[in-house]
Amino acid sequence: MKRNVSSTTIMAFHFLRSLLHLNSYGGGGGGGVSPLRRSLRIRQAAYTSMAVAAGPRRAWSTALLRRLSPRRPHHRRAAPLRRNKIRVLGEVRRGVDDGDAALRKVVPGGDRLDCCSLLEETASYIEFLSMQVELMQRISSRSACIDLVRSF
Amino acid sequence: MDPSSLITRGNVPEMWQFPMIGVPSPVRVPAGRMGHRDASVVESSVTEQRGGNRSRKKRRDAGPPAASEDDSSKLVSTSSGGNDLTDNEAKCMKVGKSQDENTDSRVHNEASSGANKLDDPPEPPKQDYIHVRARRGQATDSHSLAERARREKISERMKILQDLVPGCNKVIGKASVLDEIINYIQALQRQVEFLSMKLEAVNSRINSNIEGFPTKDFGVQTYQTHSSLAFASQPTREYEQGSAAEWLHMQVGGAFERVT
């Protein structure tokens, strides 16, 4: 429970900070960047803050950060062939069914995990994802309140 | 056929022995009981010494459940139904008839029934033991042990997942549970997408309010460091642990005050 609370605060802190950064980066009433791109960036910030709050121990958080980090595109391209091969081998050996394969696609970094740790990562991922959704709902409702007050 | 019509003075001890002779052991006991009850009624009127002795002795045996090794244990270990009782009574009558013809083999029959009695008690525990062994039989292989441990692990985690995902407890079957989980994750991801769009729409309107907030500078710095996989930059984490909640409150509340 304590861990949950601390990771919630880490997540909120990180997400708000990146929101601030995005706002300051968009600069002066949203001049240069289109709204779609901005919402995409907010989404990326949300996932990044989730991953940061989860810490480096989790497979899904490292996979998310690796996917979202802008610095290593070639690394991302080189890896999937090897990973796919491992995954296929694992499926043949363990007889994983379709639901598992779909779960591997949904959970980031799940394509190279075995069944047990895949389920564990899924549980953690769901936990953090729901926390993130709750946080964003709170922020958006507060922001909506602010907006409402401002419109008066 | 009425038992009292069949029973004569010489036949009464045979009636006592018959339940022990031709019938397999679990069926025999209710027959013995039945004969015991019937004969005790009849016996009191017809014979004096032998049947009376026997019935008294049997009653004494049936009293404590596990006292003697043959009679009482059988009485306890087997279940007696009403159908069995009537069937065994009929069998008892038939055998009694056939035994009437050769009366001299009575002693031999008694001996054999005694032998049967002695053989019987070890049998039911043996069957029990075999049953238990068959239940535990497959656990000795190390591969199957490992496989079983893995399956237990998986099912335990599936239970955790079922607790996490709302509405997943009613679903039966692993595949449908996985489907539910996937649907839930996708719904959450879609919700994140929607909320980010909403936040973008709201944020662009209150952009000017948040701008100029003093934490802007270090926000830019740490954002740049985090983009290169920096989870555990120690100073920021300490700062977060200490005052992140207040910071969150201050941030939103500060914006609120500024607006009003």
Within 53-72 of A, beta carbons closer than 8 Å to B belong to 55-56, 61-62, 65-66, 69-71
Residues in chain B closer than 8 A to A70 (CB atoms)? 227
Is A117 contained in some domain? yes
Choose, out of B199, B247, B252, B257, the residue to mutate when testing the contact with A (most A CBs < 10 Å): B199
**Residue B259 to residue A144, Cβ atoms within 8 A:** no
Residues in chain B closer than 8 A to A133 (CB atoms)? 188, 191-192, 195
What's residue B139's pLDDT? 64
Confidence check: pLDDT of B118 > 50: no
Give the distance from residue A25's alpha carbon to the nearest chain B alpha carbon, in angstroms. 9
The C-alpha angle with vertex B230 and arms to B224 and B231, in degrees rounded to 5, equals 130
Confidence check: pLDDT of B61 > 80: no
Confidence check: pLDDT of B27 > 60: no
Query: Is some CB atom of chain B closer than 8 A to the CB atom of A100?
Result: yes
Amino acid at B198: K
The residue in chain B having the minimum alpha-carbon distance to the alpha carbon of residue A69 is: B227
Give B188's pLDDT tier (boundaries 50, 70, 90): very high
**Residue A9 to residue B237, Cβ atoms within 8 A:** no
Low-confidence winner among A32-36, A40-44, B54-58, B235-239 (lowest mean pLDDT): B235-239
B1 close to B36: Cβ distance less than 8 angstroms: no
Confidence check: pLDDT of A123 > 70: yes
Give the distance from residue A69's alpha carbon to the nearest chain B alpha carbon, in angstroms. 6
The C-alpha angle with vertex A11 and arms to A9 and A15, in degrees rounded to 5, equals 120
Identify which has the larger pLDDT, B118 or A134.
A134
**Residue B244 to residue A9, Cβ atoms within 8 A:** yes
The C-alpha angle with vertex B210 and arms to B206 and B211, in degrees rounded to 5, equals 110
pLDDT (tens digit per residue) in A17-76: 888 887 776 544 445 677 788 888 888 888 989 888 888 888 888 888 888 877 655 454
Within 111-130 of A, beta carbons closer than 8 Å to B belong to 115-116, 119-120, 122-123, 125-127, 129-130
Give the distance from residue B169's alpha carbon to the nearest chain A alpha carbon, in angstroms. 15
Query: Is some CB atom of chain A closer than 8 A to the CB atom of B237?
Result: yes
ipTM score: 0.77
Query: Is some CB atom of chain B closer than 8 A to the CB atom of A33?
Result: no
pLDDT, chain B, mean = 54
CA separation for the pair B216, B210 (Å, rounded): 9
Angle between the B234-259 and A115-151 helix axes, to the nearest 10 degrees?
Answer: 30
The C-alpha angle with vertex B15 and arms to B11 and B18, in degrees rounded to 5, equals 130
Is the CATH number of domain B142-206 4.10.280.10? Answer: yes
Within 154-173 of B, beta carbons closer than 8 Å to A belong to 154, 157-158, 160-161, 164-165
Is A121 contained in some domain? yes
Choose, out of A133, A135, A149, the residue to mutate when testing the contact with B (most B CBs < 10 Å): A133
Three-state secondary structure call for residue B73: helix
Q: What is the DSSP letter of A112?
A: G
Confidence check: pLDDT of B125 > 80: no
Give B132's pLDDT tier (boundaries 50, 70, 90): very low
CA separation for the pair A56, A65 (Å, rounded): 10
Is A94 contained in some domain? no
What number is the average pLDDT over the span A108-129?
A: 87
Domain count, chain A: 1
Is A86 contained in some domain? no
Confidence check: pLDDT of B12 > 50: no
CA separation for the pair B168, B190 (Å, rounded): 19
pLDDT (tens digit per residue) in B198-215: 888 876 666 555 444 444
Residues in chain A closer than 8 A to B257 (CB atoms)? none
Query: What are the residues whose beta carbons fall under 8 Å from the beta carbon of A25, sequence distance 6 or more?
Result: A33
Is A144 contained in some domain? yes
Secondary-structure percent of chain A, ordered helix, strand, coil, rounded to 5: 85, 0, 15
Give B240's pLDDT tier (boundaries 50, 70, 90): very low
What's residue A36's pLDDT? 83
B17 close to B106: Cβ distance less than 8 angstroms: yes
What number is the average pLDDT over the span B37-52?
A: 42
**Residue A122 to residue B192, Cβ atoms within 8 A:** no
Residues in chain A closer than 8 A to B235 (CB atoms)? none
Longest dimension (CA), chain B: 121
pLDDT (tens digit per residue) in B79-101: 444 444 444 444 444 444 444 44
CA separation for the pair A16, B252 (Å, rounded): 10
Domain that holds residue A119: 5-70+99-151
**Domain boundaries defined on chain B:** 142-206
Confidence check: pLDDT of A104 > 80: yes
The C-alpha R_g of chain B, in whole angstroms, comes to 42
